[in-house]
Structure 1
């Protein structure tokens, strides 16, 4: 037998007995928890792993991200550090020159944030057309919900003054005319950009494996493909099984895909498993496309907008309930959260639902405290993007006023014993679980503003949100999420114990090792 004993540091189980002295693993499964002396007595042939004072936790589980998108963005022009339109121009020009890009090939860029640019606005086609190259250019906002193309890009997308907008999206216009200015939002952007990137199978395999290694470097052994189409599934099938990947099918555009892929439905096949469906109800709060019940600050009437009418959302839920699969739905604004609750409740009544499909409310930024009792009653799992408090907290204060201080109501959820998870929505930001734990336990903006101190949670609750709670979200609580006899030997080893240091120092903790089924998949 392949046996290992882990000992010599703080081992946090996340079970009722929070710490154990040592852990015995056999063939990738946790066999026993006891003192080192007791375990070694009957297992003298075991491999010995001395933690040397480091801290071991159950490995982290990513409760929402887009692994294939993260894989592709590693090859795109990176705009995260751009501070002005001139920076964007210079980065694109350097990329085109260094890579000798053919004139008709798309130059695809990712990660600009209008809130961080000197101009405090989105670029447009006129700005991009001043770049002295003949390529179509696509800029994707860091949120992934909007972007900009130059005139050549608009031509390839067949967008002109006669192009009509469809519900749930927006085409930017020049002044009061119908001439498109290159800015595209939500459905108008996402629907046109999915097939722009072209590559080879060998390259995709490499990119998918690179992305899995990125997750592993952050202590993650289970990641998510949060909007899966045949394209993403094809990409995932090419990768090696380094970590587990759980996918959710685009219910609007591919309603039959889940049932056409029985080899992946609720079971792992080469490390990939499909658990249910995904849909969007609104957009991004920092992009001011999230759907609110009250207008944005300094806006007379504008509240963002929905993507679907209630009837369509209810039908999405009914489909998931009937097939007994999970439903993940993107909601940022409080109006979208209300729609989720309203339509799920109606779907349960119309189907006489007895199963708990554990529906997940992705992001839940503006989920109001008065809605939490209904979340609890309906067994909805909010998955909070709490790192918004740091990355866009200052923008939220500007856009949302006092409401910004209540985003991601973690403590209020804890007080009601609501099971919730935390995520990073990679590639929006990197899947840095340690940083997210720090955000949840400090809630400090980039400008140093305390944003919602009443919603701060303990380090232990934050850790549970990315381990044992996330395993529950995935219906895997029997095999993952804590250090318990019978569960998988999936561990992360940290440089310090987050339960024993000031919360302000948590962000400085290093991932030393990530272990999946007793095998090291990342080592610093």
Structure 2
């Protein structure tokens, strides 16, 4: 591979010496960092890459998303920013006509958020039946934790008026009749059973989605929930050598035996850019849907704090499995009661097994983690991965659900920083786009959509926000020796930006453009 020498721009290393004059890359790795003239000595054959005043820094690392779901969303109806029920109807009818959807074929719609609708609620089953009278239709909330289905979908999924609620979920009924609304496990378990598009369609969508991630400056992405059916497709993707970015999967711990037997050669080591990184579990739901498990009441619902997805005993068993098998565990925790459950059961499991094994357990989302819980998080070596984008995208909903004071403490990043906790950021794509620069801006500005600041005392410096999606994310993956900073012998995973996020006004960060993304020395995205 040709040597490349990058120079004439701001080069942010994220090492002790924050800036460098030049970087020399060869065979996919960083060969040397230092002064341009010194690096050229003996390397006169290097290709000279003039940054022309732009900024070079470590590429972004996706700490949590559902990449395959993001790819699959390319084949679904987008309800992003729908304004009312009729808008939803028009989009779905247009999708059916445009794509010549045949009678009986499944239709799925995503990015639904009733908070943006004039009606401020979900459409009912009878309304959906009118939109798609000949097709099973299921609509997924942006959070991925609830949704609504029409009668044909309910029939295909085997859900009737007599179907009981599953553990950790609710099938909503009125006067004993189905409304179409499914919440938590009632939705999550059933949406997984919706037939997938053809392999050819999916692979085209995967290629497009991978290009999208690269366009955001990302070179490592995540599959946040690998179930048996998806395992077959991931094995196919890995063996087909279609990946140009690193892709790390986390296995549904309840299905681990079925999944891992299909992933031989990919467990904790890359095969054609894919590997299994650990296990995944769910402890609660979504704060927007008022299903995040809380220690205090939701505003306007005295005595209601939502509910846990599993018992303490079941969680302890799952943690013991992860510790015994030395597999990292990602636990979905939005509410502070769910976090408390995770902290307590992890401590009990470690003491019971008398182990010092460090699996770097992850608290995914950590939206409403209490500042009082952070010292214990640090003591146990847990890593909160904050969905800090909630401040901008759903800040007003948090204010409605919890009041201004409690909402101001969502994603308490400054307190975590002061505690010396390594934390990461994510976008949970396809919930929102995997836009790292927007996330960095939100963490530093903490502005809601109306421009109001939510939690000024939880703002963090831009540098700390950048570290959360680079060096800290590398640490989360046990890859701090090969990724996350610009240092000799690390992978040449780099991104070129048109401006330096450390030198522009905070509100300009979200407008910075990714000019080029480089994976192991090779350009995987270049702006046109």
TM-score by length of 2: 0.97
Helix, strand or coil for the counterpart of 1:138? strand
* CA offsets 1:411-469 (integer angstroms, 9 cap, x no match): 00000110000000000001000000000000011122210010000110000000000
Q: Which residue of 1 aligns with 2:91?
A: 91
Q: Which residue is 2:192 aligned to?
A: 194
Partner residue, 1:292: 294
The residue that corresponds to 2:148 in the other structure is 148
Q: Give the match for residue 218 of structure 1.
A: 216
Q: How does 1:168-247 map to 2 (within 5 A)?
A: 168-174=168-174, 177-239=175-237, 240-247=242-249
Aligned counterpart, 2:338? 336
Q: Is the 8 A contact 1:9 1:51 kept in 2?
A: yes
Deviations 1:121-168 (A, max 9, x none): 112202212326321111111111111011111111222221100221
The answer to whether residue 365 in structure 2 is matched with residue 363 in structure 1 is yes
Q: Write the distance in 1 (CA, Å) between the matches of 2:366 and 2:176.
A: 35
1-structure distance, mates of 2:268, 2:302: 47
1:65 and 2:65 aligned: yes
Q: Displacement of 1:260 after TM fit?
A: 5.6
Deviation string, structure 1 residues 373-412 (Cα, Å, up to 9, x no partner): 0000000000000000000000100011121100001000
Give the structure 2 partner of residue 521 of structure 1. 524
Deviations 1:311-363 (A, max 9, x none): 11111110000001100000000100100101100110111111110000000
Q: Deviations over 1:224-278 (max 9, x none)?
A: 0000113223223333121000110001233453366331111001111111100
Equivalent residue, structure 2, for 1:43: 43
Match of 1:485 among 484, 488, 502: 488
Secondary structure of the 1:120 match is coil
- How far did residue 211 of structure 1 move? 1.5
Deviations 1:196-230 (A, max 9, x none): 13222222222222211111010000000000113
Per-residue deviation at 1:100? 1.8
Distance in 1, Cα, partners of 2:173 & 2:36: 69
1:25–1:489 Cα contact (<8 Å) kept: yes
Residue aligning to 1:131: 131
- Whether the 8 Å CA contact 2:360–2:382 is kept in 1: the answer is yes
Alignment of 1:115-130 (within 5 A): 115-130=115-130
Structure 1 window deviating more from structure 2 (8-17 vs 206-215): it is 206-215
Question: Is the 2:235–2:262 Cα contact (8 Å) retained in structure 1?
Answer: no
Q: Is the 8 A contact 1:237 1:270 kept in 2?
A: no
Q: Is contact 2:6–2:24 with CA below 8 Å preserved after alignment? A: yes
2:498 paired with 1:500: no
Secondary structure at the counterpart of residue 183 of structure 2: strand
Query: In the alignment, is the contact (CA less than 8 A) between 1:332 and 1:365 conserved in 2?
Result: yes
Structure 1 unaligned residues grouped into runs of 5+ = none
Match of 2:322 in 1: 320
Distance 1:132 1:497, change over 3 A: closer
Secondary structure in structure 2 of the residue aligned to 1:15: coil
Structure 2: unaligned runs, 5 residues or longer: none
* Contact kept? 1:204, 1:238, Cα under 8 Å: no
Q: Deviations over 1:3-62 (max 9, x none)?
A: 110001000000000000000111111111111111112211001111000001101000
Is 1:23 matched with 2:26? Answer: no
Provide the secondary structure at the position in 1 that maps to 2:25.
strand
Counterpart CA distance in 2 for 1:484 and 1:169 is 47
CA distance, structure 1, for counterparts of residue 202 and residue 304 of structure 2: 41
1:149-189 per-position Cα deviation (integer Å, ceiling 9, x unaligned)? 11111111222221100221011112xx2211100011001
Q: Indicate the residue corresponding to 1:267 in structure 2.
A: 269
1:250 equivalent to 2:248? Answer: no
Query: 2:354 and 2:2 mapped to 1: Cα distance?
Result: 48
Task: State the alpha-carbon separation in 1 of the partners of residues 316 and 212 from structure 2.
Answer: 37
Q: State the match for 1:77 in structure 2.
A: 77
* Structure 1 stretch displaced more, 78-87 or 432-441: 78-87
Match of 2:407 in 1: 404
Write the distance in 1 (CA, Å) between the matches of 2:495 and 2:138.
38
Alpha-carbon distance, 1:371 to partner:
0.4
Paired position in structure 2 for 1:462? 465
The alignment partner of 2:408 has SS state of helix
Aligned equivalent of 1:349, options 335, 348, 351: 351
Secondary structure, counterpart of 2:432 in structure 1 = coil
User: How many angstroms apart in 2 are the aligned matches of 1:132 and 1:249?
Assistant: 34
Are the equivalent residues in 2 in contact too, given 1:204–1:235 (CA < 8 A)? no
Query: How many residues are paired up?
Result: 522
Q: 3-state SS of the aligned residue for 2:297?
A: coil
* Correspondences of 1:421-436 after superposition (within 5 Å): 421-436=424-439
**Which residue, out of 431, 442, 450, partners 1:439?**
442
Aligned equivalents of 2:6, 2:231: Cα separation in 1: 36
Q: Which residue of 1 aligns with 2:4?
A: 4
Comparing 415-424 and 40-49, the one that deviates more = 40-49
Distance between the aligned counterparts of 1:235 and 1:482, measured in 2?
32
